[in-house]
C-alpha cells in the first residue's frame, strides 16, 4: 500500500478562502445572521427573550397563524401523511394538489395552474423551461433573484432594462429582439425590496408589438391587491390578457410553495419540462392544504385586504410627516410604494445597520436591507392587516426619538 501524501509544508488548506471571504463581508457591513423567533408568527414576535413589534414579515394578511389554516394542515397530515413521498409525476401527486391548483386557477381566472415546492423553484423552473440558448430574456433590473437565476439557468441571452422604465424596455426590444427566436419579458408586479409596482399594461402592449411573452411575479401581489385578491394583474384590469402569472403561497397565503397560472398549454408544458417541478418531491400535503384554506379566506374576507391597504397608507402618511418635521429624520428618503412594503432609503450599510439596531432596542423588528440584495441600503418596513394603530404609534415614537 502506498503511504498518504505528506501535507503541504504551509498550514494552508483549500478552504482558507472562506475565512477571507467572510472577513470581506464583515468589513463591508454586509455580513448577515439568522435570528430565531421563538413563538408564533404575528404582529408581535419574540426574539432572544425580547418581545418585538414585527415590521419584517411577509405575512400580510396575518394568515400564517390563522387557526383555520392550521386545522386544514393538520387534517391533511391525518389524511395524506406528512410527506408527498415522490415527485408529482410519479407517486407524489395527491387530490389536495389538484384542489389547490384548481383554486389558484379560479382565483387568477386562468385555465390552469401548477404548484411548485417554493416560489423560488417556480421561477427557476419556469424561466429555464420556456427559454433556451437561442432566446432573449428582457428583465427589469430590480427583479427578484430567483428570476435572474432562472434566466441564467436557461442559457438564454439576458438583458436588463432600467427599473419600471417603459422607454428603456422598448429600447432593449428594438435593439435585440430580432436576433433571437423567442422573447420573454419578466418583471415583479410588486417589487420586493422597493414596494412599487411595474407598468404592466404598457409592458403587455410592448410585448404584443415585439412578439414577446410576459411573465409577472406576483409574490407580493397575490392576496394583497385586486378586487378579489387575485393580485396586481387583476388590479390593472389585465386578467384576460396573454400572460404567465407566477406567485408564492408563502407570503399573504401564509403557507409554503409557489405557483404558475396561465393557459392550459403553458401548464401542461411546465408539467413536462420544468426541471424544478419534475425532479423534486411534491409540495407537502400540509402546505398545500394550508394554502387552499388561505385562498378561501382571501375570497371570503375582503376586509383583511382593506385593513391592510388602510394600514399601509397610514404608515406612508405618518412617515412622510415625520421626515418633513423631525430634523433627525430629514436625511431619510421614503421610496415610492403602492403596497404594504414601505422603504426608507439610508446613505450606507453602516447607517442602516445602526438604525435597525436602535429600532430593535426600542422594541421594533424591521429589516435593514443592504447590498448585495439591493443597490442602496434601506430600512424595509412591511405592514400587516393585523397591525393596530397603536403598533404604528409605537414605531413612529421609536423613529422620532432619534437624534
Ligand X SMILES: *Cc1c(COP(=O)(O)O)cnc(C)c1O
Binding stretches for ligand X (CB under 6 A): 118-120, 123, 144, 146, 188, 192, 217, 219-220, 248, 250, 258
Counting DSSP H helices and E strands in the chain, the numbers are 14, 14
Closest CA to 342 of 378, 302, 304: 378
Query: Quick one: cell of 35?
Result: 435570528
**φ, ψ (nearest 5 deg) of residue 144:** -60, 150
> Which CB sits closer to ligand X, 120 or 180?
120
The residue with its CB nearest to ligand X is: 119
Question: Over the range 199-236, which residues count as b (16 or more CB within 10 Å of their CB) and which as e?
Answer: bbeebbebbeebebbbbbbbbbbbbbbbebbbbbbbbb
What CA–CA distance (Å, rounded) separates 348 from 30? 11
SS3 at position 201: helix
> Which CB sits closer to ligand X, 191 or 210?
191
Handedness of CA 195, 367, 350, 396 (dihedral sign): positive
Query: Quick one: cell of 241?
Result: 390578457
Q: Where are the beta strands (DSSP E) in 292-383?
A: 333-334, 341-345, 364-365, 367-369, 378-382
> Which CB sits closer to ligand X, 210 or 259?
259
> Which CB sits closer to ligand X, 120 or 277?
120
> Which CB sits closer to ligand X, 144 or 304?
144
What CA–CA distance (Å, rounded) separates 272 from 39? 40
- Longest CA–CA separation in the chain, Å: 80
Q: How far is the CB of 401 from ligand X (least distance, A)?
A: 31
Q: How far is the CB of 144 from ligand X (least distance, A)?
A: 4
Q: How far is the CB of 219 from ligand X (least distance, A)?
A: 3
> Which CB sits closer to ligand X, 294 or 322?
294
Q: How far is the CB of 121 from ligand X (least distance, A)?
A: 7
Q: How far is the CB of 322 from ligand X (least distance, A)?
A: 27
Q: How far is the CB of 120 from ligand X (least distance, A)?
A: 4
Q: How far is the CB of 19 from ligand X (least distance, A)?
A: 30
What CA–CA distance (Å, rounded) separates 254 from 69? 8
Closest CA to 116 of 271, 231, 222, 298: 271
> Which CB sits closer to ligand X, 128 or 322?
128
> Which CB sits closer to ligand X, 29 or 223?
223
Q: How far is the CB of 123 from ligand X (least distance, A)?
A: 6
CB count within 10 Å of CB 371 equals 13
The residues facing 347 across adjacent strands are: none
Q: How far is the CB of 224 from ligand X (least distance, A)?
A: 12
> Which CB sits closer to ligand X, 127 or 392?
127
On the 0-12 / 13-18 / 19+ scale of CB atoms within 10 A, 16 is exposed
**φ, ψ (nearest 5 deg) of residue 370:** -130, 165
Amino acid at each position: 500500500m502506498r503511504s498518504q501524501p505528506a501535507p503541504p509544508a504551509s498550514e494552508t488548506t483549500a478552504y482558507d478562502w472562506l475565512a477571507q471571504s467572510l472577513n470581506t463581508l464583515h468589513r463591508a457591513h454586509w455580513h448577515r445572521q439568522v435570528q430565531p423567533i421563538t413563538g408564533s408568527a404575528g404582529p408581535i414576535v419574540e426574539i432572544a427573550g425580547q418581545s418585538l413589534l414585527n415590521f419584517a414579515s411577509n405575512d400580510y394578511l396575518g394568515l400564517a397563524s390563522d387557526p383555520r389554516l392550521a386545522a386544514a394542515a393538520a387534517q391533511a397530515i391525518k389524511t395524506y401523511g406528512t410527506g408527498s413521498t415522490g415527485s408529482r409525476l410519479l407517486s407524489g401527486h395527491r387530490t389536495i394538489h389538484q384542489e389547490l391548483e384548481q383554486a389558484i386557477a379560479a382565483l387568477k381566472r386562468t385555465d390552469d395552474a401548477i404548484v411548485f415546492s417554493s416560489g423560488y423553484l417556480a421561477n427557476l423552473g419556469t424561466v429555464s423551461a420556456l427559454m433556451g440558448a437561442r432566446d432573449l430574456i428582457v428583465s427589469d433590473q430590480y427583479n427578484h433573484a430567483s428570476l435572474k437565476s432562472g434566466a441564467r439557468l436557461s442559457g438564454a441571452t439576458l438583458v436588463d432594462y432600467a427599473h419600471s422604465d417603459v422607454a428603456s424596455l422598448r429600447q432593449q426590444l428594438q435593439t435585440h429582439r430580432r436576433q433571437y427566436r423567442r422573447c420573454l419579458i419578466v418583471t415583479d408586479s410588486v417589487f420586493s425590496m422597493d414596494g412599487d409596482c411595474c407598468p404592466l399594461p404598457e409592458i403587455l402592449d410592448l410585448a404584443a408589438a415585439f412578439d414577446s411573452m410576459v411573465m409577472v411575479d406576483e409574490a407580493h401581489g397575490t392576496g394583497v391587491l385586486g378586487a378579489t385578491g387575485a393580485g396586481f394583474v387583476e388590479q390593472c384590469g389585465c386578467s384576460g390578457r396573454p400572460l404567465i402569472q407566477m406567485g408564492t403561497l408563502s407570503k399573504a397565503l401564509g403557507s409554503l410553495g409557489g405557483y404558475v397560472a396561465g393557459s392550459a398549454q403553458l401548464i401542461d408544458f411546465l408539467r413536462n419540462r420544468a426541471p424544478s417541478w419534475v425532479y423534486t418531491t411534491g409540495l407537502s400535503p400540509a402546505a398545500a392544504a394550508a394554502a387552499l384554506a388561505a385562498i378561501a379566506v382571501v375570497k371570503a374576507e375582503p376586509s383583511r385586504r382593506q385593513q391592510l391597504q388602510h394600514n399601509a397608507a397610514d404608515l406612508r402618511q405618518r412617515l412622510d410627516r415625520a421626515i418633513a418635521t423631525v430634523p433627525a429624520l430629514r436625511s431619510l428618503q421614503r421610496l415610492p410604494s403602492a403596497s404594504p412594503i414601505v422603504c426608507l432609503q439610508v446613505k450606507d450599510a453602516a447607517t442602516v445597520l445602526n438604525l435597525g439596531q436602535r429600532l430593535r432596542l426600542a422594541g421594533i423588528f424591521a429589516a435593514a436591507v443592504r447590498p448585495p440584495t439591493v443597490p442602496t441600503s434601506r430600512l424595509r418596513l412591511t405592514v400587516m392587516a393585523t397591525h393596530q394603530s397603536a403598533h404604528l404609534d409605537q414605531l413612529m415614537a421609536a423613529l422620532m426619538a432619534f437624534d
